[in-house]
């Protein structure tokens, strides 16, 4: 078992109830190795792998995890299973840059991982900085899975370029829906499915229960507080500690509930505004993360002109940094009742009826994917999304809708 000394920021265990710190900014990061710390309980139980700093300009998650590791070292509460905390992109974290050559959190497709592992011996000389990081991170996560004495969970901690409210996102499976309900933050449905090659998506496919958390703005010390609170609640929900066994658990819940304010419990991503360098994209100043916007409101500019809100909705992850291919995501509130209804329908496996719709057929090579031919393209997206089919892509000229395979908890 290894632990790391905590940062000098005030922790939840040292505050009365709010988790606020006196610091104005996230402290500088000193990073010696990929494994930030590990805690192994005497009793068998679940594993929680925390990956922080997949982007090098997002060190808050590492500071947060160090606090929790230090607190657990002093706690008298027994821990079951294993907690292991890993730095994502070590080189980029040391440089304070989002990445060196490419976004490490877009490299986790099956094809890309297979191609990476296929390069052995002299062929590994082709590896760039992020290839090297991915190899090491893959090895570290696989080692944790091999040691596991129970269900494996993975948390991916991030921060944002814009100010605003922290939130949780997840791949839309039953097990992950049930897990993220532990966090009293806005829960974003359908964001992971807009992306290709995300770390959490890859490990969901490989049998882990995963989620990601955007903890707040990059340099805001409150982001460390938020991610610390999320980690405490994740330990409790995964079953590494008994419910209510640490005073930080209630403090964490109260802090995150306060952060959410009057925002809805659930938001759904409707679309992604993808960008490239040639677009000269520029977000209008002043948007916070999870910022409501009215129909017709000016959101951004690019080489083609103004970009305005298509209707009333919510701006998610507005881009205010130099690197990235996501200008913003557009979302809307959804009700807890709709979330519960969708869960029941999926548990009853009524999605099997989708294959009876004209123009919709199960993909024979991918059991979690439907092919939607021309006549089916006129169906509302909600027909598919209610069953978790949120990944809409074009393959070989055919429209497909796909979801992560459900696995029992």
pLDDT tens digits, the chain, 409 residues: what are they? 333 333 333 445 444 333 343 345 888 888 989 999 999 999 999 999 999 999 999 999 999 999 999 999 987 888 999 999 999 999 999 999 999 999 999 999 999 999 999 999 999 999 999 999 999 999 999 999 999 999 999 999 999 998 999 999 999 999 999 999 999 999 999 999 998 999 999 999 999 999 999 999 999 999 999 999 999 999 999 999 999 999 999 999 999 999 999 999 999 999 999 999 899 999 999 999 999 999 999 999 999 999 999 999 999 999 998 788 899 999 999 999 999 999 999 999 999 999 999 999 999 988 899 999 988 888 988 899 999 999 999 877 789 999 988 764 4
Residue 190 class from Cβ within 10 Å (0-12 exposed, 13-18 middle, 19+ buried)? buried
pTM for this model (two decimals): 0.89
Burial code (b: 16+ CB inside 10 Å, e: under 16) for 254-266 equals: bbbeebbeebbbb
| Strand ranges of the sheet holding 398-402, from the earlier edge strand across to the other edge | 360-362, 369-372, 398-402, 391-395
Burial class (CB within 10 angstroms; exposed 0-12, middle 13-18, buried 19+) of 167? buried
Q: How far is CA 254 from the centre of its chain?
A: 21
Contact by Cβ (8 Å): 89, 55: yes
Report the distance separating Cα 150 and Cα 45, nearest Å: 5
Query: What is the tens place of the pLDDT at every residue in 97-141?
Result: 999 999 999 999 999 999 999 999 999 999 999 999 999 999 999
DSSP 286: T
CB atoms within 10 A of CB 272: 19
Integer CA distances (angstroms), 334 to 131, 190, 304, 337, in order: 38, 12, 32, 8
* Domains contained in the chain, CATH given: 12-260 (3.40.630.10), 266-334 (2.40.50.100), 353-402 (no CATH)
What is the full DSSP assignment across 197-219?
Answer: S-HHHHHHHTT-EEEEEEEEETT
Q: CB neighbours of 394 closer than 8 A, spacing ≥ 6?
A: 400
Listed residue (228, 246, 238) closest to 80, CA to CA: 238
pLDDT tens digits, 29-70: 889 899 999 999 999 999 999 999 999 999 999 999 999 999
Distance CA 252, CA 17 (A): 9
What is d(CA 323, CA 231) in angstroms, rounded to the nearest whole number?
27
Annotate 26-70 with three-state secondary structure.
CCCCCCCCCEEEEEECCEEEEEEEEEECCCCCCCHHHHHHHHHHH
Instruction: Sheet with 80-87: list strands edge to edge.
Output: 35-40, 80-87, 43-52, 152-160, 209-217, 167-170, 187-189, 266-274, 326-334, 313-316, 291-293
Q: What percent of the chain has pLDDT over 90?
A: 81
User: Rounded to 5 degrees, what are φ and ψ at 35?
Assistant: -80, 115
Instruction: Report the SS3 class of residue 321.
Output: coil
């Amino acid at each position: 078992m290894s632990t790391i000394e905590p940062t000098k920021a005030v922790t939840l265990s040292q505050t009365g109830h709010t988790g606020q710190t006196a610091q104005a900014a996230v402290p500088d990061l000193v990073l010696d190795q990929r494994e930030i710390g590990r805690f192994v309980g005497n009793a068998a139980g679940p594993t929680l792998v925390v990956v922080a700093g997949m982007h090098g300009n997002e060190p808050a998650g590492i500071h947060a995890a160090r606090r929790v590791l230090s607190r657990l070292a002093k706690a008298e509460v027994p821990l079951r299973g294993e907690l292991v905390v890993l730095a994502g992109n070590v080189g980029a974290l040391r440089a304070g840059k989002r990445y060196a050559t490419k976004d490490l959190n877009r490299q986790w497709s099956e094809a890309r991982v297979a191609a990476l592992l296929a390069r052995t011996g002299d062929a590994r000389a082709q590896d760039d900085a992020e290839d090297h990081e991915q190899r090491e991170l893959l090895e570290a996560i696989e080692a944790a899975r091999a040691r596991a004495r129970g269900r494996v969970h993975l948390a991916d901690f991030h921060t944002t370029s814009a100010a605003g409210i922290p939130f949780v996102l997840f791949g839309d499976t039953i097990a992950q829906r049930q897990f993220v309900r532990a966090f009293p933050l806005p829960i974003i449905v359908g964001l992971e499915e807009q992306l290709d090659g995300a770390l959490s998506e890859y490990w969901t496919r490989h049998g882990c229960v995963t989620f990601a958390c955007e903890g707040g703005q990059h340099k805001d010390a409150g982001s460390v507080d938020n991610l610390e609170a999320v980690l405490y609640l994740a330990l409790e929900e995964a079953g590494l500690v008994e419910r209510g066994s640490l005073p930080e658990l209630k403090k964490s819940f109260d802090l995150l509930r306060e952060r959410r304010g009057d925002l809805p419990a659930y938001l759904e991503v409707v679309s992604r505004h993808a960008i490239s360098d040639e677009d000269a994209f520029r977000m209008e100043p002043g948007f916070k993360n999870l910022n409501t916007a009215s129909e017709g409101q000016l959101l951004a500019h690019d080489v083609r002109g103004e970009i305005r809100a298509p209707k009333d909705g919510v701006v998610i992850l507005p881009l205010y940094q130099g690197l990235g291919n996501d200008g913003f995501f557009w979302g809307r509130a959804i009700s807890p009742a709709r979330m519960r209804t969708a869960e029941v329908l999926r548990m009853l496996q009524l999605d099997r009826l989708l294959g009876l719709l004209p123009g919709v057929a199960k993909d024979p090579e991918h059991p979690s994917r439907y092919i939607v031919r021309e006549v089916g393209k006129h169906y509302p997206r909600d027909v598919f999304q209610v069953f978790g089919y949120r990944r809409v892509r074009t393959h070989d000229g055919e429209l497909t809708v796909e979801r992560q395979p459900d696995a029992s908890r």
